[in-house]
Copies of this chain bind each other. A is one copy, B any other.
Amino acid sequence: MSHKSSEDPKPPPKPALHFASSDLPHIAPYLPSAVVATSSVKPFVTITFATSLDSSLSLAPGTQTALSGPETKAMTHYLRSQHEAILVGVGTAVADNPALNCRIEGVGLEEQPRPVIVDPSGRWLVEEDGKLAECVRLAEHGIGKGPWVLTTLQEDEINHDSRRTLERCGGQYICFPCVPKGSQNQLQWRDIIDTLGRLGVKSAMIEGGGTVINTLLEDRNLNLIDSVIITIAPVWLGEGGVLINPPRRTDEKAQPIPVARLDQVKWKQFGDDVVLCGKIKR
């Protein structure tokens, strides 16, 4: 198989997905479009992911686990059509090689969300073993937008070919000020969301993986989150999975207290899964 992008045949279309309009009232109040336009430049942020009953995203780090059924898959793609950007962490980008586009029927390139990959130390490869990353390949064929890669690499640290390939499909590297090496969470969520806002992104859907969600659910980041839309599948994955289990919060007496509670809560069954919509309780 040839992997040079110029010789890469247009990928055969994956089946289009259909999200039943009868299911729309359930999620409509939690979508960016439900918000009356404000002068705020902060993008509307939806946090969304699917877990098992034991709060795992997958069976093990670096693996992809099929959790949710076709009904919630269609809903996720519908959500993508309602946001201007989809953000994932580098772990998910490397493990899943995700398409990060929207497969709802009739969605044109203009309505496709912008893939955003948070990759502080430059682990994600635009091309590996001569094969383009799936979201780059789709962008080259006009089936998705070119991905933005958020990194603390500096301009001169970025591979020239990678940059050229990314820019050719409409993507770009966005370099953040360097932070001390070895520090955790090298990119701060507030900086990421501010940057997306400055680049004109009005709504972003944050899809995972574990590090992304767990750090976003830290106390200091909760006010960045506008909506929460979670799928839970009726399965236990067991010990060793990638847990959503945010850092502990304590009160002034150092006693543990809940990290966050939702209000304006709606649960609805889709197939065998449940979808929870809510807002962070302030």
Using a CB–CB distance below 8 Å, which chain A residues touch chain B? 51-56, 59-60, 65, 217, 230, 232, 234-241, 243-249, 256-263, 265-269, 272, 274, 276, 278
Contacts and interface: CB of A to CB of B under 8 A. Distances in A.
B256 A235 contact: no
Given A267-B269, A272-B265, A54 B246 contact: yes
Contacts of A266: 269
23 contacts: A54-B55, A55-B243, A56-B245, A59-B256, A59-B257, A235-B259, A235-B261, A236-B245, A236-B259, A236-B260, A236-B261, A237-B258, A238-B246, A238-B248, A238-B249, A238-B258, A239-B246, A240-B248, A243-B245, A262-B272, A263-B272, A268-B269, A274-B276
B267 A54 contact: no
A83 B234 CA distance: 24
A237 B259 contact: yes
B59 A258 contact: yes
Contact of A258 (B235, B263, B272): B235
Q: How many copies altogether?
A: 2
A26 to B, nearest CB: 11
A245 B239 contact: yes
Contacts of A234: 261-263, 265, 276, 278
A268 B274 CA distance: 9
Contacts of A59: 256-258
B244 A238 contact: no
Contact of A238 (B60, B256, B267): B256
A123 B111 CA distance: 62
Contacts of A56: 245
A247 B258 contact: no
Contacts of A232: 232
A246 B54 CA distance: 8
Contact of A267 (B230, B239, B258, B274): B274
A59 B256 CA distance: 7
A256 to B, nearest CB: 4
Contacts of A249: 238
